[in-house]
Chains A and B, each alone.
Chain A
Amino acid sequence: MAEFKEAPAGAGTLVQASTWLENRFPTAFDAYKVHMSEYYAPKNFNFWYFFGALALLVLVIQIVTGIFLVMHYKPDANLAFASVEYIMRDVPWGWLVRYMHSTGASAFFVVVYLHMFRGLIYGSYKKPRELVWIFGCAIFLALMAEAFMGYLLPWGQMSYWGAQVIINLFAAIPFVGPDLSLLIRGDYVVGDATLNRFFSFHVIAVPLVLLGLVVAHLLSLHDVGSNNPDGIEIKAKRDPKTGIPLDGIPFHPYYSVHDVMGVSVFLMIFTAVIFFAPEMGGYFLEFNNFIPADPLKTPLHIAPVWYFTPYYSMLRAVTDDMVNVFVGLTAVAGVLAFLKGGFKGLWKFAPLVGALVLAVMLKSFDAKFWGVVVMGGAVMILFGLPWFDKSPVRSIRYRPSWNKILYGVFVVVFAVLGYLGIQPPTVVGTLMSQAGTLFYFGFFLLMPWWSTWGEFKPVPDRVTFHAH
């Protein structure tokens, strides 16, 4: 235990109280230093660095509004829809709390997508921040589960049929699929049992996981220190006397006050949606979801909420033809690995055997199953990013110029996939989403090669910073 401290003679009540507390709970005081007043963050953070703090803000908004919603919501297939309307009409300020929660769900994904994009362009996932990135990907995965289960709770037509479609996907998994989807549903169709277990997962199980992961994400970040738009390690250049990084500034007050500014701009946009367009043209609250769930009436067009649609597009892109394309690509990859892989002895044949096994599997299971694999893989592939990227520099600023175009195309492809996922399937749309899916996976799987190509620019010793 640390030395017992004495408040100086004649000190004010505040100092005495603080000394009393510090003697009994030094951990809190140490944590404040480690994470706030003596956490040295690079001074050259730009616009992109608001979104981590904003994601934390939205998480708090969702938890607090969620607590109040649970006070009035009824997780019962016969009462759920009416209880949401009760919140909208009869609970004082219930409409505001509900709109904050429904808009918050979409805001969470907006903020998290931008936060992930920041990590992508500045190479924030690269050594030594691999774990920070992995915890982040796990948060994204938990967030998707949280959003999907929460969407069932209003028990509207889209809630019901969206859940029905997605849970049915699990049934496509060979051997265990039908039992697995039954286990998730708790019934042969989506019903009261499903609603109750989704409620339980949505309000307690997944939020606990989410909070734990957020803590791990932040602790691991503060252990290795923040990256910055230049992708330079600020810890490499320290003040010889204090040992503080020359380009580092204390998080509090500099970035706390900076984030307050970001928060106020974010809240302007967030509240504008809540007060002036809570349905957001049917994207945040879908029109069909104002009709109570009816198991006997399937809506004409079922689409997930916008934040899932890029992945939903990839799922729909996997048709029998697309599986044939996969088989072809597997063959090419197998032959290339055989010729150029540099394996020794009998291992030389391993890529060929592997490719053959994969090709046989591709052809023997249903395309629907591979669609599910592709959809899941599109999220899981993000975990591997730190090992795909072989670039000698972190930031896009010092990568070859054509990288900017490539990342731009990646963003466009992702947005187009999202758009196509909202639309009913068409022949052209399916072809486009197939091309988009191949690009998406190619971007990551071929990264070990393309990330080394081209001429890299010299990385400066110190961060680029212009005083405000």
Chain B
Amino acid sequence: MKKLILALLASLALFGSAQANTEGPAWDKFPTKRLTDMAALQNGAKLFVNYCLNCHNAAFMRYNRLRDIGLTEQQIKDNLVLTGVKVGDLMKAALDPKDAKDWLGVVPPDLTLITRSRANEKGSGADYVYTYLRSYYRDDSKATGWNNTAYPNSAMPHVLWELQGQQRAVMVDQKDPHDPSKIAHVFKGYEPITAGTQTQAQYNDSVADLVAFLQWMGEPEQNSRVRLGVWVMLFLAVFTVIAWRLNAAFWKDIK
């Protein structure tokens, strides 16, 4: 049995993680109210197109679907669509995947379903992205000059740094609770280095809007699905009562 467990553990160590790590600090809660706030979703769409779509695809999503969050086709054409792209086209990144691999070492993942795929025991995928985009800090030991507490050694630099400003992570050396002979770096909080164009509260709002957009994009039907579901449940409740009384009417003969 030991052999098998060791083999399993060894094979686990070999596997790269395709999902967010379950270790590390807890995730902040994404304010879910924004999902039904059209202004927030529209602001999120704007941030997404300006900051994310340069490198990341949203290749399962069409631009004209943004009509669902209250934009007109003309607004989408004028403000969001890149030149030479039709409004009915899929949201593809400007960056060529081959170049991305050369420059960043990885092809940036498609973001259409990013919030659906990143959920785990620590929270929803939206919680994860909301935490991740607010957890960047300066780290000169990294090629990009940035590191992230929610996803250590992230290949992505802090794209939103002009908004947030720069911060550094305060690490405290503590004795490792499992092994007193070792010293562990424990994260204690952030300290601002330079201010951004937004205050901390404004930046949190911007990230919440962006994540609301990502969450909506993961399943554009999610809000109407729930509304329709309420009607279906009401119908079935009435139908169940009728079925119950019909059954009783037939079964009263059976003694």
Q: Are A467 and B255 in contact (CB under 8 A)?
A: yes
Interface of A is mostly: helix
Q: What are 10 A-B interface contacts by the 8 Å CB criterion?
A: A85-B113, A88-B221, A275-B229, A287-B118, A290-B113, A290-B116, A298-B16, A320-B1, A425-B8, A468-B254
Bound CA–CA A298/B110 (angstroms): 18
Q: How far is the CB of A356 from chain B (nearest CB, A)?
A: 24
User: Do B250 and A257 touch (CB < 8 A)?
Assistant: yes
B228, chain A: closest CB distance, angstroms: 6
Write the chain A residue with the least CB distance to B61: A89
Could you mark each residue 227-268 of chain A with 1 if its beta carbon is under 8 Å from any beta carbon of chain B, else 0?
000000000000000000000010001100110110111011
Asked if residues A275 and B116 are in contact (CB atoms below 8 Å), the reply is no
Decide yes or no whether A82 CB sits under 8 A from chain B: yes
* Number of A residues, CB within 8 Å of B: 54
User: Does A157 belong to the interface (CB within 8 Å)?
Assistant: yes
Contact mask B231-242 → A, CB, 8 Å, 1/0? 011001101100
Q: In the assembled complex, which residues on chain B have CB atoms less than 8 Å from the CB atom of A432?
A: none
Min CB gap B2→A, angstroms = 8
Contacts of A78 in B (CB 8 A): none
Shortest CB distance B237–A (Å): 7
Closest chain A residue to B230, Cβ basis: A275
Q: How far is the CA of A249 from the CA of B254 in the complex (A)?
A: 8
Q: How many angstroms between the C-alpha atoms of A291 and B233 in the bound complex?
A: 32
Name the contact of A258 in the complex, choosing from B65, B232, B240, B247 (C-beta under 8 A): B247
| Interface membership of B219, Cβ < 8 A | yes
Number of A-B contacts (CB under 8 A): 137
Is the CB–CB distance between B229 and A271 below 8 Å? yes
Assess whether A90 is interfacial by the CB under 8 Å rule. Answer: yes
Residue B10 interfacial (CB < 8 Å): no
Asked if A260 and B246 sit within 8 Å, CB to CB, the answer is: yes
**B165 CB, nearest partner CB in chain A, Å:** 32
Tell me if B62 and A89 are in contact (CB < 8 A). yes
Q: A321 CA to B3 CA in the complex, in Å? A: 10
Residues of chain B within 8 A of A438, CB atoms compared: none
Does B51 have its Cβ within 8 Å of any Cβ on chain A?
no
Residue of B nearest to A94 (CB): B221
Look across to chain A and name the residue whose beta carbon is closest to the beta carbon of B60: A85
A275 touches which one: B12, B19, B110, B226 (CB < 8 A)? B226
Top 10 A-B residue pairs of the complex, sorted by shortest distance between their CB atoms: A275-B229, A290-B117, A85-B60, A319-B1, A321-B1, A298-B15, A290-B116, A290-B113, A264-B240, A261-B243
